[in-house]
């Protein structure tokens, strides 16, 4: 077996054999296949695709490259959620303790932001003392005592995917549906959860811009989970407009706590409850009522215990950026569009995100939204507040927002898109 023959097979639109897939994943993980060779194969897959059998074997090979976690000793059924990423997507923060309050164990392995999409770990690290990195034993202990944990994946979990993801990010092959699906599902299956709910974002602020592409990705991942014995369902959700009223690390933590306290923006609450119900149903807890757990304070209690168990102080003041700049409405009328990608890019430029994995982020940087599409606005009214510690970045962020905000006449008809567009699985 050699890398060139594997590359040629896919370059010429052939089907990779199970033996070719097993060998190339193992050899790349060990360093026998060079980065430039795997880059060439990734591009061939990007251009020519994979069938279901190839994707399933590719996923299995990445799982086999590392360890598999085992939560069978827990007294609770396990359920996890994965989002494909968006702007203002803080749903994991209230969702994990909410589902734990309803009786499931939530082993939530999360990542960091890259580019215009935010990262759950970056958000939580704005809480003083909170730790993202736990050993497997620590993770299991928090699950046993609290019911939910949000942490970084260990180095032993699907190491082939870790190498390949970094390569895809710098070779223009991130958007490949076979590679996205196998990347996500190899980690989630190796994680050892009994059930999985996928939040596949659709719209300008998501990787999948079109509904058909999102549907294909969701169907592929549901099939992979099912083939590996993990009960998997997917919701296609709207990402044409940012979720909630904040985009930025500490800003989103603050909004998540508002949701756990029984308030918060309606779209964040609605999506949190929709995903919670799917997770509880998949875990066999059909009678649990997540809305009640939000209302009676039990979800907030689990949040506080989860943050404390990972070294954080749930009562500590969150970081606040040193400088603010307000964007006002240019005219009176109805706000017809607030583009998610434009807001995410502006927040990234303010310091809320990173261009490379090793870049630092500003905990207090980001954007507050004072209106959402469909709202009537008045000329001069605040629409957005930009937050940063580096005010020289304001002009750069404002350039990203150019064309991302549209206001029509007051009688412009407006029909809001539902947060949940479809269910698959």
Q: Is 356 considered catalytic here? A: no
The one catalytic residue in 168, 215, 277, 304 is 168
The residue written with tokens 């942490």 in the block is: 151
Q: How far apart are CA 181 and CA 53, in angstroms?
A: 13
The residue written with tokens 């690390």 in the block is: 249
The one catalytic residue in 82, 116, 302, 349 is 82
- Contact call for residues 356 and 399 (beta carbons, < 8 A): no
Q: Is 199 considered catalytic here? A: no
Q: Is 40 considered catalytic here? A: no
The one catalytic residue in 161, 238, 267, 339 is 161
Residue 407: left (phi > 0), alpha (psi -120 to 50), or beta?
beta
Q: Is 133 considered catalytic here? A: no
Half-sphere exposure of 402 (CA within 13 A, CB side): 7
The one catalytic residue in 83, 176, 183, 186 is 183
The one catalytic residue in 112, 123, 163, 187 is 187
Q: Is 161 considered catalytic here? A: yes
At 28, list the tokens: 């790349």
Of the candidates 91, 103, 93, the residue with the CA atom closest to the CA atom of residue 235 = 91
| Catalytic residue numbers, as ranges | 82, 161, 168, 183, 187
């Amino acid at each position: 077996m050699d890398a060139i023959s594997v590359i040629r097979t896919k370059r010429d639109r052939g089907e990779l054999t199970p033996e070719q897939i097993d060998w190339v994943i193992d050899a790349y993980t060990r360093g026998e296949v060079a980065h430039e060779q795997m880059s060439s194969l990734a591009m061939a897959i990007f251009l020519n695709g994979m069938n279901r059998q190839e994707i399933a074997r590719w996923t299995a090979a990445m799982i086999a490259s590392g360890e598999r976690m085992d939560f069978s000793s827990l007294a609770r059924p396990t359920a996890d959620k994965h989002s494909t990423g968006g702007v203002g997507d803080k749903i994991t923060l209230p969702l994990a303790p909410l589902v734990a309050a309803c009786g499931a164990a939530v082993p939530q392995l999360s990542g960091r932001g890259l580019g215009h999409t935010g990262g759950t770990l970056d958000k939580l690290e704005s809480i003083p003392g909170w730790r993202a990195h736990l050993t497997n034993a620590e993770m299991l202990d928090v699950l046993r005592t609290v019911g939910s944990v949000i942490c970084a994946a260990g180095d032993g979990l699907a190491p082939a995917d870790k190498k390949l993801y970094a390569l895809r990010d710098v070779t223009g092959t991130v958007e490949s549906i076979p590679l996205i699906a196998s990347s996500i599902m190899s980690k989630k299956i190796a994680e050892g959860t009994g059930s999985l709910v996928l939040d596949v974002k659709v719209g300008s602020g998501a990787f999948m811009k079109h509904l058909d592409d999102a549907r294909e990705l969701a169907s592929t991942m549901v099939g992979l989970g099912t083939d590996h014995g993990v009960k998997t369902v997917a919701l296609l959700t709207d990402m044409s407009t940012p979720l909630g009223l904040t985009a930025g690390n500490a800003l989103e933590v603050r909004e998540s706590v508002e949701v756990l306290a029984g308030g918060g923006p309606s779209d964040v609450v609605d999506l949190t409850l929709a995903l919670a119900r799917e997770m509880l149903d998949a875990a066999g807890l059909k009678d649990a009522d997540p809305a009640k757990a939000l209302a009676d304070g039990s979800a907030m209690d689990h949040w506080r215990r989860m943050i404390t168990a990972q070294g954080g102080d749930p009562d500590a003041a969150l970081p606040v950026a040193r400088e603010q700049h307000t964007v006002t409405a240019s005219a009176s009328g109805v706000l017809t569009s607030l583009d998610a990608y434009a807001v995410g890019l502006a927040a990234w430029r303010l310091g809320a995100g990173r261009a490379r994995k090793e870049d630092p982020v500003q905990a207090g940087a980001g954007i507050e939204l004072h209106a959402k599409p469909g709202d009537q606005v008045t000329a001069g009214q605040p629409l957005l507040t930009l937050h940063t510690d580096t005010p020289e970045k304001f002009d750069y962020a404002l350039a990203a927002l150019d064309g991302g905000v549209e206001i029509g006449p007051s009688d412009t008809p407006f029909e809001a898109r539902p947060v949940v567009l479809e269910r698959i699985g």
